[in-house]
Structure 1
Amino acid sequence: MLLSVEHLDKSYKTGRRSSTQVLHDISLSVNQGDALGLVGESGSGKSTIAKCLLRLIKPEQGRIVYDGIDVVQARGADLRRFRREVQMVFQDPYGSLNPRMSVGELIGEGLLVHRLAATAAARRERVAEMMQMVGLNPADMDRYPRSFSGGQRQRIAIARALVIGPRILVCDEPVAALDVSVQAQVINLLQDLQRQLNLAIIFVAHDLAVVRHLCESIVVLHKGRIVETGDRNAIFDAPQDPYTRALIAAVPTPDPQVARAHRASRRHSPATQA
């Protein structure tokens, strides 16, 4: 087991003496190379789980164990290894990139922080390799984020997360702010990268159709609780919980034009730029 979450509880303060519990007894796991989808409407707790996994916030109860490391209690070398091997891609491709840094600086920053490139030349070489891997032109590494489309910016964010060689990629609704046709290209890119790099992906989304395309296993969340979990085909073909059935019923019937765009992007991914 690469990552396990055991009986996680989390509350947020709503006043000086009051709080609201947003996670209730959450347990889940992911193996190397797996893709796990966390699905639920806004307020279901899925993004809070992602933040707990990255140690951006601390749960009140429960354990998070990554490859033998107690994440909540980790210090020193264990914490440094965890920070390098578990990376996040955020939802907003416009707000998550520093506009004052060039693309090369943004992608290469992790190499500096973790001391993974001895020279500036080695750093640029690694950045160029990652840009090519996500379907961007390495010749553009000295340009700034404002010069790129939303889909391209999310590819920059993915390259930034992957440049230091993580084993787990946590994606917090990474395509929610993108057009539907661009969403398909980014999802296909993530799928290709998962296979190529043997990545574990934890994919947070409210869109079951997106999760079904990418993830082998699905966890359905409602009001901070897991209401259903299982293989994607079992979830879609025989949902057990009424909330899961309601989510599936809300999935729109694909538009023929969107379906054609999806198939075309699949043929050209990852080289086609979004």
Structure 2
Amino acid sequence: MLQIDHISKSFSTGRDKRTVVLDDIALEIHAGQSIGLVGESGSGKSTIIRCALGLMKPDTGNVRYGGIDVHRSGRADMLAFRREVQLVFQDPYASLNPRMTVEELVGEGLLVHKLDGSASGRRRRVVEMLEMVGLGEEALGRYPRSFSGGQRQRIAIARALVIRPQLLICDEPVSALDVSVQAQVINLLQDMQRELNLGILFVAHDLAVVRHLCSTIAVLERGKIVERGTRGDIFDNPQHPYTRSLLAAVPIPDPAVGQARRAKRQLAL
């Protein structure tokens, strides 16, 4: 589906000076696959998202979707790309227009992409999607301010999925939520992935979050992927010191479980 082919990106930081933000990044995402991209703040995660969405052009390398170069595509191809690749933002309080009702927010993509010509048809599809994310028809006329953070993120997910995309890019979608609500949103994304055969690129700084959703994980440090592997490889047998430091920072609710995990890692080393 999406191929990020050895992209690099740098920014000017003064006269004749440039700072490398991305260094030879390569990722592939297939239909129904979930990939976690993990790294601390400033590691380049957001720049990868901007390049992947065609909002920023890399200095070298390219981004392809379905074989089409995202940064060199024509208008028709870009419209199709915009419909098939959707983004869920980090902050559910800032990503929803407070002046729009839930029906307007979720149905906007149907209008933009002309996917359903009638108002009744659009409303029906909006209601179906709201029910899929655990909300209902009673939410249609309400405004974002009347919902909790977790409910707002469900609305954001419904807005992204109502046009039936093939790929969902999630930019730290649970970092602003309480832990219990995080679990609800992650479970919802898992259900949506199975039901719609979605490809998901899940960007986060917390390894504990991606563990429950992603089958493959790539670890990003200072603009470079330092380790990638299956969920089992990364969590049970991390190879890079940076990956091990991220794992060591994950809170362990049960000390006995934490001690057993540390012993297992020491044996693997």
TM range (shorter): over 0.9
Stretches of structure 1 lacking an aligned partner (at least 5 in a row): 257-274
Residue 242 of structure 2 corresponds to: 243
After TM superposition, the score normalised by the length of structure 1 is 0.91
Deviations along 1:228-253, whole A, 9 cap, x unmatched?
00101011111110000111111110
Shift of 1:13: 3.0
Shift of 1:76: 1.7
Residue 261 of structure 1 corresponds to: none
Counterparts in 2 of 1:197-236, with a 5 A limit?
197-236=196-235
Q: Which amino acid in 2 is paired with 1:30? A: I
C-alpha distance in structure 2 between counterparts of 1:156 and 1:122, whole Å:
19
Moved more, 10-19 or 63-72: 10-19
Residue 66 of structure 1 corresponds to: 65
C-alpha distance in structure 2 between counterparts of 1:33 and 1:186, whole Å:
18
- Structure 1 residue 179 corresponds to structure 2 residue 165: no
Q: SS at 2:158's partner residue?
A: helix
- Structure 1 residue 142 corresponds to structure 2 residue 138: no
Residue 37 of structure 2 corresponds to: 38
Shift of 1:18: 3.4
- Structure 1 residue 18 corresponds to structure 2 residue 41: no
C-alpha distance in structure 2 between counterparts of 1:74 and 1:16, whole Å:
33
Q: Could you tell me the percent identity over the aligned residues?
A: 67
Stretches of structure 2 lacking an aligned partner (at least 5 in a row): 256-269
C-alpha distance in structure 1 between counterparts of 2:139 and 2:156, whole Å:
15
Residue 192 of structure 2 corresponds to: 193
* RMSD (Å), alpha carbons: 1.2
Counterparts in 2 of 1:89-108, with a 5 A limit?
89-108=88-107
Moved more, 43-52 or 221-230: 43-52
Shift of 1:16: 5.8
Runs of 4+ in 1 over 6 A off after TM superposition: none
Deviations along 1:31-88, whole A, 9 cap, x unmatched?
1000000001001111211121111222111111111111111112111111100000
C-alpha distance in structure 1 between counterparts of 2:186 and 2:107, whole Å:
23
Q: SS at 1:5's partner residue?
A: strand
After TM superposition, the score normalised by the length of structure 2 is 0.92
Q: Which amino acid in 1 is paired with 2:56? A: I
Deviations along 1:82-126, whole A, 9 cap, x unmatched?
110000000000000111111100000000100001111111111
